[in-house]
Structure 1
Amino acid sequence: MSAPRSHYMREIFVSHLQDASYLPQTTSYVALEEQARKKLTPEAYGYVAGSASSENTNKSNMDAMQDWQIVPRMLAGVDLDNFDMSTTLFGRKFATPFVISPIGVQGQLHVDSDRATARAACKVGVPFTLSSATSTPLEVVAQEGGFAKAREEAEGCDGEVSGAEPWFQLYWPSDDDITRSLLDRAKKSGYKVLVVTLDTWSLGWRPRDLDIAYNPFLKGNGLANLFCDPVFVEKYCEGKSPLRKDTTEDDVFQAALACISLLSPGNSRSWADLPLLRELWGASADGHKIVLKGIQSVTDAARAIEAGADGIWVSNHGGRQVDGALGSLSALAPIARYVRSSGCALTRGGERPTLIFDSGVRTGADAMKALCLGADAVGIGRPYAYALALGGEQGVECLLKAMLADLELNTALAGCRGVKEMGSHLLVRRGEESKL
């Protein structure tokens, strides 16, 4: 078993003792966001921080976290040196219950963009989900992220998977030829899980971007995957790559418009389209899994599993799409009860569907609440974006180590010996006394 994640706290104190000039990257989310705001351009900060319309859905995400409170148990025989941080995803044991949620246009946050985030995730042993709106081609991220080396080191090892593997998030193109090309490239590059984002077939109404007329995609930012895709270049750029040396601003603009029309076409796919993705991505038996991201209702969760999804990702896109929606954590518990019920169908791999959660996770306590309410893993989003802006790869690595330490300490001090002991018995709603 690896060293306790909470040793990161000791590392901070000892490092400062040995070198008085050493201070860690802030471990406070509030301070992290404020420091990133000061460093980033107003456009980049607003892009990350902003949400849809009144931003009430983002507020609901925060409120939903505060609606649940932890009831610590004492004298539980907890030993930090033997704390079990592992979780099971898609029938495999992962070292931690964290996942990097997809965030696009990371090039506006740091020059190393997605590559830095991928390397940090790989070092810490957390699955990294690459956005379709990446600033770096998917092949480059897979190669430079260190995942191949991690796979080699893991070969022949039984039991726990480190978690150092790449996942690919898909904004589902309206052109099936483009979809096929992207998925073929992702499979060849070693991406294991396809995360299909369902709620962004049109951008939400985002005043922070609108009021300064900021759309990074119109200048080609965040479109690296399509700009270097051979099918896209042939069909939509007359065979001339917008990345070539003699390209003009108008070439990039026209290519960007084509990309936007493909990835955000203004019309939604339907449940009848899902078999095509299963066909293109491959069978579960081959190790290729499909997760549907953006699920907020039990009905949609049931339909997703019936359609062959290997996992459900409960998320409202950090409040960036539908204004006035319920907090994501409020949707988690009923979906988790269904997924764990006898009436829920197994995946095509014969496993219980994997349940991932994001939207509103800022601290170890937030992650703990989601795990107690039934999530198998928790996605980290805005916190790592701000850490990337402040410190690149090292910033993201420090953020992940801090959040894992926070989760481990919070859970252990509440009386759990590992992630698997978490459950709703540890929570009460604000003002509730029945379980005390």
Structure 2
Amino acid sequence: MNLDDAGRAAADVLPQDVWDFLSGGSGAEMTVAANRVAFDDVFIVPRVLTDVSSCGTSATLLGSRVTMPVGVAPMAYQQLFHPDGELATARAAEVAGVPYEASILSSYSLEEITAVCTQTWFQVYWLRDRILMGDLIDRAENLGCKALALTVDAPRMGRRLRDIRNGFALPSHVAAGNFPRPWTDTARRGTAGSSSSMMHTGEAFDPALTWKDVAWLRGQTHLPIVLKGVLHPDDAVQAIEIGVDAITVSNHGGRQLDGAIGSLTALPAVAAAVEGRAQVLMDSGIRSGADVLKALALGASGVFIGRPVLWGLAADGQRGVDRVLQVMQTELEDALALSGCVDVRRARHLDVLPRSSSAPVSPVQRGSR
């Protein structure tokens, strides 16, 4: 009936170490909690006496029309959760008519994923191997990907204590489908008291990523570029000046800096700084259609959901993901109607009331969108 139901179903079928890999964050998981607190502390001020006999959820993200302003966030190694992995989630996104953001660390290749989803975006981390980076960009373009998303909040992986305590390693049947199988050998070598996936990404990812590299990337591709992992307004402005097409306000689901600001908390200031010059997206902590409405009201053009998709995948493969996305659309339509919005465009003009405030925050105060 809601996304939490999918979470309970997933917890019943997944091994404990895989559940921890999915659910956990870095450090004491303060930021994981902060993401939900941020949504719970925001209240919508509904409008009334509007004809909401028909409410439209469709939107435009990076020039493509989608059935709702919701996409599937990039998540690695989905064969951990179901044998069909990314193919199931990508097919579900295609059926739902929403973007699917394929991770560079997908357990199926980009060729296989784009064959089943026409609205594929490709997410990359910055690799130490610049030639390999160029090859991946070329593949994304040639396969018809709609956007290239560069994750910039992971110069190194956060210390995910659940994985370290579990000695988490990829099982033998899971590998990174976009690379030759030996590329992920380190991630499959389990060691007590350490995370093999953390060791592998330390070898593969380049912590020297700077704005110069983002400018280089802009010159290498005609695809729209999304900068994922931005929380500070000044970083968003600098990205736009380089030519980035969209910003994803994200703290990596609480899996990087523990104690980082909640994504929804950071969203209004970033949206105000961007001033409509690029689309502002967000992820981290979204669990309902009402959460989507809150993000739209605070300045987002769209949101990407992560863990709930994997809950559905673990519970019932593509049918589970289908159901998660169906519930999300039903809840969003319901939230629009009950707040007096005939479409998602109107939602961006709703007033919101922080729990600790006695006065609504108006669209003017949040900045023009």
* TM-score computed with the length of structure 2 as normaliser: 0.90
Deviation at 1:259, TM superposition (A): 6.2
CA shift in 2, pair 1:180/1:108, >3 Å: same
Question: Which amino acid in 2 is paired with 1:197?
Answer: T
Q: 2:176 corresponds to which letter in structure 1?
A: L
1:135 matched to 2:102? The reply is no
Tell me whether 1:111 sits opposite 2:74 in the alignment.
Answer: no
- In 2, are the aligned partners of 1:106 and 1:222 still within 8 Å (CA)? no
The yes-or-no answer on 1:325 pairing with 2:260 is yes
Asked if 1:208 corresponds to 2:162, the answer is yes
| AA at the equivalent of 1:270 | T
Contact 1:171 1:263 in 2 (8 A): no
Amino acid in the other structure paired with 1:73:
R
CA distance in 2, matches of 1:379, 1:389: 19
Q: Is the 8 A contact 1:201 1:263 kept in 2?
A: no
Structure 2 stretches lacking a partner, 5+ long? 190-196, 362-369
* Residues in 2 aligned to 1:213 and 1:117: alpha-carbon distance in whole angstroms: 27
What is the rounded CA distance, in whole Å, between the counterparts of 2:210 and 2:108 in structure 1? 29
Q: Structure 1, unaligned stretches of length 5 or more?
A: 1-26, 148-164, 229-240, 244-248, 342-351
Which residue identity is paired with 2:174? N
Mapped to 2, the partners of 1:107 and 1:88 lie a distance apart of 30
Look up the match of 2:14.
Answer: 40
Are residue 399 (structure 1) and residue 324 (structure 2) matched? yes
Q: 8 Å contact 1:104–1:222 — kept in the other structure?
A: no
Q: CA deviation at 1:207?
A: 1.0
In structure 2, the partner of 1:226 is 179
SS in 1 for 2:350: helix
**CA distance, structure 2, for counterparts of residue 250 and residue 427 of structure 1:** 47
Matches within 5 A, 1:176-195: 176-195=130-149
Cα pair 2:156 2:202 within 8 Å, conserved: no
The 1:77–1:369 alpha-carbon spacing in structure 2 relative to 1, beyond 3 Å, is: same
- Structure 2 vs 1, CA of residues 251 and 430 (structure 1 numbering), >3 Å: closer, same or farther? closer
Is 1:64 equivalent to 2:17 in the alignment?
A: no
1:336-389 CA-partner distances (Å, limit 9, x unpaired): 111126xxxxxxxxxx31111110100111111001111001101110010000
**Alpha-carbon offset, residue 251 of structure 1:** 12
Aligned to 2:365: none
Asked if the contact 2:43/2:353 (under 8 Å) is kept, the reply is yes
Q: TM-score, normalised by structure 1?
A: 0.77
Check the 8 A contact 1:117/1:388 in 2, yes or no.
yes
Aligned partners of 2:281, 2:290: CA distance in 1, in Å?
Answer: 16
Q: Deviations over 1:101-155 (max 9, x none)?
A: 0010100000000000000000110100001111111111111x142xxxxxxxx
Q: Which protein is bigger by CA-based radius of gyration? A: 1
Check if 1:85 corresponds to 2:38: no
C-alpha change, 1:251 and 1:115, in structure 2 (3 Å) is closer
> CA offsets per residue over residues 222-263 of structure 1, 9 Å max, x none?
4221226xxxxxxxxxxxx779xxxxx89986xx99964553
Distance 2:360 2:281 in 1: 26
Over the matched positions of the two proteins, sequence identity in percent amounts to 35
Q: Spell out, residue by residue over 1:64-99, the C-alpha distance to the aligned partner (whole angstroms, 9 max, x if none).
A: 11111012222112122xx22122323444332011
Which residue in the other structure is 2:279 paired with? 354
Q: In structure 2, do the counterparts of structure 1 residues 301 and 251 end up closer, same or farther at CA, with 3 Å as the change threshold?
A: closer
Structure 1: how far apart are the matches of 2:219 and 2:342? 41
Determine the structure 2 residue equivalent to 1:263.
204
What is the CA–CA distance in structure 1 between the aligned matches of 2:78 and 2:30, rounded to whole Å? 25
Conserved? CA contact 1:175–1:262, under 8 Å: no
Aligned residues: 354
Amino acid at match of 1:294: G
Bigger shift: residues 70-79 or 101-110: 70-79
User: In the alignment, residue 186 of structure 1 is paired with which amino acid?
Assistant: A
